[in-house]
Structure 1
Amino acid sequence: MNDPTHISSRDNPLLKRLRVLAQDSTAYRKQGQVWLEGDHLCRALLARGHRPATAVFSDRYWPVAPHALRDACEHRVLVPEALMAGISGLESPAGVGFVWDLPATVGPKLGQAAVVLDRLQDAGNVGSILRSAAAMGFAQVLALKGTAALWSPKVLRAGMGAHFALHLVEVLAPEDLGDLGVPMLVTSSHRGDFLHQATLPWPCAWVLGHEGQGVGAALEALASQSVRIVQPGGEESLNVAAAAAICLHASAAAR
């Protein structure tokens, strides 16, 4: 394997591109790549059988970096600590990051279990839902236009590697979901069958709505079932990521 390339200039084209990927939530859509910062995300990518296009290490971390990370790809780059910190979107900059080429964009997979995100705004909620989807056996997540960018740095960090286990499609319109080939279940805080009493189909598509407005009328019209979660403590509603975890677990347990 070739020796790593040393970069010492802040104006290096690669470092300029990485700063954009790290700081612009939708830059990946133009560049076709994502910046995966930190040991955990890098290892998660490798664990799913993927390989980065480029591996970037701080000169301080390189001597102690695990061989799995050092040998992840042919194109390896070493940069000074200060330049790594200039790329980082973390409070404590990591010593390693991968540049990964995104898979080709394709549409929803018909007949497969799915999670549908209807204009969710909070990146932390979206990332948490991706983790729950992957854990509970939902192989695809479909995001309507207006949902936080699925491959943005904040969603990637919140997803903790779940992205690499999922088929992700975004910027969809409600009419794109009219024929998924599985029943569509919408979540509600005030009407529908109580989850613990409902008969849940499998496979299915769970629809999770905007944090304040809930599921939009267009998707409600496509749904075959509306479901709510019993709340004996009397709260008005649950955080959408918490509700997603409960609903997806109920589907997994009922299979």
Structure 2
Amino acid sequence: MTVAEPSHISSRDNPLLKELRKLAHDPGAYRKAGRIWLEGDHLCRAARARGVRAAVAVFTESAWPAARPEWAGAADKTVVLADALLAAVSGLESPASMGFVLDLPAPPPIAADWPTVVLDRLQDAGNVGSILRSAAAFGFAQVIALKGTAALWSPKVLRAGMGAHFGLRLVESVGIEALDALTVPCIATSSHRGEWLHRTRLPHPCAWLMGHEGQGLSAALEARAGLQVRIVQPGGEESLNVAAAAAICLHASASTAGG
């Protein structure tokens, strides 16, 4: 297959650069654009490893000669920018030398019987991305983000997810009624009531419900849970960070399933 030569961009007013600036700095811009910006070779490799083909691959002039043997043909179109232009787009303290523009995946239907994590109005992008990583690591292949949760494909969530997005079925910005499609039992976490996690026989598959950093689960969502659990904290802290709690709970589920 003949690989087309890359396009070279030297103007900061180029339409692609204007699009990249929006995608890199506006958490919800991808919804309107229908495209996602992945910055850095780690995320690009994670997408490529899952068979995702980029619409556009972007490289700095200094990086392209060494990158060409590996990355030529990795996208429908390749562009090369002056280093300063890509640095001006970047949302990172240390700008990367490459990135991918991907078409936003079509919203999938909810899989009724998959191991699932439900996110209820989580605000912190780092927490959301960390939970996606834990979900992927522990076999919870579906994540449902209710309305009010940080945008799943935003740059900060993508960076915190470290490539987990591409191994997950992601359903976002849905109302609580969408959970009617689930047939697996729901489990709620609490800092002060419920059964102790380490003593509980956990159902598998199941859906773990993870709530807002300060307010926890909404009453309506908590009412859907057939089981409530809490994590033992002998150190006496009032509560755990939601991402830490999710990792503990999902690991416990994976251990139950494996045992």
TM-score bracket, shorter-length normalisation: over 0.9
Deviations 1:144-200 (A, max 9, x none): 111111000000000000000011111111121134000000110000010000110
Match of 2:211 in 1: 209
Q: Is the 8 A contact 2:194 2:228 kept in 1?
A: yes
1:118 Cα offset (Å)? 0.5
Match of 1:12 in 2: 14
In structure 1, what residue type is equivalent to 2:103?
A: D
Does residue 122 of structure 1 match 2:124? yes
Match of 1:2 in 2: 4
**Number of residues of Structure 1 aligned to a counterpart in Structure 2:** 255
Match of 2:190 in 1: 188
Match of 1:238 in 2: 240
| Aligned counterparts of 2:226 and 2:180: Cα–Cα separation in 1 | 12
Correspondence for 1:86 among 85, 88, 91: 88
Q: Is the 8 A contact 2:56 2:79 kept in 1?
A: yes
3-state SS, counterpart of residue 142 of structure 1: strand
| Aligned counterparts of 2:71 and 2:252: Cα–Cα separation in 1 | 37
Q: Is the 8 A contact 1:128 1:158 kept in 2?
A: yes
| Aligned counterparts of 2:53 and 2:215: Cα–Cα separation in 1 | 40
In structure 1, what residue type is equivalent to 2:52?
A: H
1:108 Cα offset (Å)? 1.4
Question: Following superposition of structure 1 onto structure 2, how do residues 73-222 of structure 1 map, counting pairs within 5 Å?
Answer: 73-222=75-224
Q: Is the 8 A contact 1:184 1:207 kept in 2?
A: yes
1:63 Cα offset (Å)? 1.1
Q: Is the 8 A contact 2:54 2:76 kept in 1?
A: no
How much is the aligned-residue C-alpha RMSD, in angstroms? Answer: 0.9
Rate the CA distance shift 1:173–1:92 in 2: closer, same or farther, 3 A: same
1:84 Cα offset (Å)? 0.4
Rate the CA distance shift 1:58–1:113 in 2: closer, same or farther, 3 A: same
Match of 1:30 in 2: 32
1:56 Cα offset (Å)? 0.4
| Aligned counterparts of 1:68 and 1:93: Cα–Cα separation in 2 | 20
| Aligned counterparts of 1:246 and 1:221: Cα–Cα separation in 2 | 22
| Aligned counterparts of 2:251 and 2:237: Cα–Cα separation in 1 | 21
In structure 1, what residue type is equivalent to 2:163?
A: G
In structure 1, what residue type is equivalent to 2:238?
A: E
- Scaled by the length of structure 2, what TM-score is found? 0.96
1:32 Cα offset (Å)? 1.0
Deviations 1:14-34 (A, max 9, x none): 111111111110011111110
1:69 Cα offset (Å)? 2.5
1:66 Cα offset (Å)? 6.0
User: Could you tell which deviates more after superposition, 104-113 or 59-68?
Assistant: 59-68
Unpaired segments ≥5 residues, structure 1: none
Q: Quote the sequence identity (%).
A: 67
Q: Is the 8 A contact 1:2 1:74 kept in 2?
A: no
In structure 2, what residue type is equivalent to 1:136?
A: F
- Scaled by the length of structure 1, what TM-score is found? 0.98
3-state SS, counterpart of residue 222 of structure 1: coil
User: Could you tell which deviates more after superposition, 89-98 or 58-67?
Assistant: 58-67
